[in-house]
Amino acid sequence: MFADKRARGRFAVAATLASALALSACTTTGDSEKPASASSKSDKEFAATPAGEPVFASTYKPFPNVATAIKGATIYDGRGGKIENGVVFMSGGKIVSVGGPDTPIPADIAVFDGTGKFVTPGIIDIHSHLGDYPSPGVEAHSDGNEATSPTTPEVWAEHSVWPQDPGFSRALANGGITALQILPGSANLMGGRSVTLKNVPSRTVQGMKFPGAPYSMKMACGENPKRVYGNRGRMPSTRMGNFAVNRETWLEAIDYANNPDAKRDLAKETLVGVLKGEILIQNHCYRADEMALVLDMAKEMGYKVSAFHHAVEAYKIGDLLRENDVCSAIWADWYGFKMESYDGILENAAFLQKEGACVVIHSDDQNDIQRLNQEAAKAQAAGARVGIDIPDATVIGWLTYNPAKAMGIADKTGSLETGKMADVVLWNGDPLSVYSRPEKVWIDGALMFDAMNPKTRPVSDFELGQPGEGDVK
């Protein structure tokens, strides 16, 4: 319910959820402050893994793959480059070379004819709740908001991810999604840590975790936190309350960071990670004026905002966002469903691009994640109508390199460059057309989906034995 989707026709359900949340708040408040481990620092016999060392570590390994080349396709490299009749060669899970028709490739490798087709880097969604709000969306699966306190930096989205969410396979097969960031919801000012995943089927979330990806922390401006907590008669109930709670929380984190004797505190470990620049900030924020205030709060406390999410009014402050090197993660056409989205316009992305600010197209939705390419095309077309012509190759960057940059993984994926992960989509036509679909998707060089081969369509445990198992979805 805080995934900022309209709950048309589900108001009754939403109301039930809200009361259930209120109930759970009463029964769990008080436990949330307990330390994770019973050990004390003087106790040598019982000790948790020290703070900062890897826990819940990624067990993802690239799947077996064969050296593969795609020849004759139009290639968008994710960083604004376009090659007609190009060659992409991948081997050992990495991009080996990308170039024109004469790019040498070894004999005896798998070669796909890309004539009339298009190649892009794997599509990346910076804002997803797959796994945390999975399908079926029953209350027992509603694991995206720890809405029991306005600040919960201690929760980690990965602990809610259900790897059997059928949404992952739809995002792969229909959207060409190869990596995605799962964020906590926006009920809280500080919602907790995100997790970045490789979009591969797995029995465990660790088997999906993107190796080496930094954590982010989700923050939220505006209506949601003040509504959720204001309705319970507690702070924050206003936008000024939102800022007060945030600033108090940051001040406490700074004290904690400066105190070598402080007891371990999971919430503050996350916040200190942000202050140190190790954990990125992904900030849900619709209104331009609030984004400007957040940027000043970040300056005051000494951290950086990586991206504003749902930034429907970003176009009003493109200059400010460029100067602060903050990306805007946006929809193409969502508007008017809540007060802070009232000024949404189709030209948001184009105006930002024109100002030289960073654009990311995001979904926040289990359906739109299947068509991020189309959302980008919509935003591009709106720009063209007002004389802002943005090349296709640049637009592809909104879905690939730019989200990778804002998620801190641009050194590993997000573009077709030698040495990077071979996360690649072959489209059966222009990816910015409604008539095109992903034909093949490689993740770390392994062919994880092939539209021409039904057995390469992942079927989650939940779907086995159900109507339509293995159907083209």
Partner 1 sequence: MKRLLTLAASALALTAAAPALAQDMVVTNAKLVIGDGSEPIEGGVVIVDDGKVVFAGKPTAGQTFTTGTVVDAGGAYVTPGIFATLTTLGLADVSAVDETNDITASKTPFSAALDASTAINPTSQHILVHKAAGITRAATTMLPSGSIFAGQGAIIDLDGSPNPVMQARAFQMINLGENGSAQAGGSRAAAHALLRAALREAQALSTGKGGIPQTTAIDKADEVLLSRFDAEALVPVVTGKQKLYVDVERMADIRAVLALKSEFPKLDLVLVGATEGWLVANEIAAAGVPVIANGLIDLPETFEQLGATQSNVGRLSKAGVKVAINALTMQDPRRLQQVAGNLVALTKMPGATGLSWGQAFAAISSVPADIVGMGGKAGVLKPGALGDVVIWTEDPLEVGAVPAKVFIGGVEQDLTNHQTRLRDRYKDLDESNRPEAYDW
Binding site for partner 1 (CB under 8 A): 6, 8-13, 135-138, 166-167, 170, 174, 223, 315-319, 333-339, 342-347, 351, 355, 365-368, 370-371, 374, 377-382, 385-386, 428, 432-437, 451-452, 454, 462-463, 466-468, 471-473
Alpha-carbon gap, residue 210 to 200, rounded angstroms: 10
* Residue 289 tokens, joined: 């004026």
CB-nearer residue toward partner 1: 30 or 136: 136
Rounded to whole angstroms, the Cα distance separating 429 from 436 reads 5
Are 217 and 189 in contact, with CB atoms under 8 Å apart?
A: no
CA dihedral 104, 106, 110, 113 (to 10 degrees): 20
Q: And the tokens for 98?
A: 């990308």
The smaller minimum CB distance to partner 1, of residues 235 and 346, is found at 346
Cβ pair 360, 372 in contact under 8 A: no
Eight-class DSSP state of 454: G
Q: What residues contact 299, with CB distance under 8 A and at least 6 apart? A: none
- Rg of the chain over Cα atoms, rounded to whole angstroms, equals 22
Residue 412, token pair as written in the block: 């590993």
Tell me the closest approach of the beta carbon of residue 368 to partner 1, in angstroms.
8
**Least distance CB 55 / partner 1 (angstroms):** 32
In order, the DSSP letters of 368-421 are GGGGHHHHHHHHHHHHHHTT----HHHHHHTTTHHHHHHHT-TTTSSS--TTSB
Q: Min. distance of Cβ 233 from partner 1 in angstroms?
A: 19
Smallest gap from Cβ 225 to partner 1, in A, equals 15
What minimum distance in Å lies between the beta carbon of 292 and partner 1?
13
The CB-of-382 to partner 1 minimum distance in angstroms stands at: 7
**Residue number, 167 or 184, with CB nearest to partner 1:** 167
Handedness of CA 103, 107, 113, 114 (dihedral sign): negative
CB of residue 188 to partner 1, shortest distance in Å: 18
Nearer to partner 1, 419 or 468 (CB): 468
Closest to partner 1 by CB, 237 or 428? 428
The C-alpha atoms of residue 195 and residue 192 are separated, in whole angstroms, by 10
Which whole-number Å values give the CA distances from 139 to 16, 99, 104, 142, 184, in the listed order? 9, 50, 54, 5, 16
- Using CA atoms, how far apart are residues 36 and 11, in angstroms rounded to an integer? 37
How many Å apart are CA 36 and CA 263, to the nearest integer? 11
State which residue, 164 or 188, has the beta carbon closest to partner 1: 164
Q: Quick one: which of 238, 354, 463, 458 has its CA closest to 246?
A: 238
Nearer to partner 1, 252 or 355 (CB): 355
Nearer Cβ to partner 1, position 193 or 226? 226
Least distance CB 166 / partner 1 (angstroms): 6
Q: Which residues pair with 196 in a beta bridge?
A: 181
Nearest distance from residue 212's CB to partner 1, in Å? 30
H or E stretch at 190:
strand 190-193
CB of 345 to partner 1, least distance (A): 5
The minimum distance between CB 24 and partner 1, in angstroms, equals 21
> Nearest approach, Cβ of 125 to partner 1 (angstroms)?
15
Residue whose CB is less far from partner 1, 310 or 316: 316
Pick between residue 252 and residue 343 the one whose CB is nearest to partner 1. Answer: 343
Running DSSP on this structure, what letter comes out for residue 274?
A: H
The widest CA-to-CA distance across the chain, in whole angstroms, is 70
**Closer Cβ to partner 1, 8 or 34, answer by number:** 8
Asked whether the beta carbons of 58 and 196 are under 8 A apart, the reply is: no
CB nearer to partner 1: give 62 or 137.
Answer: 137
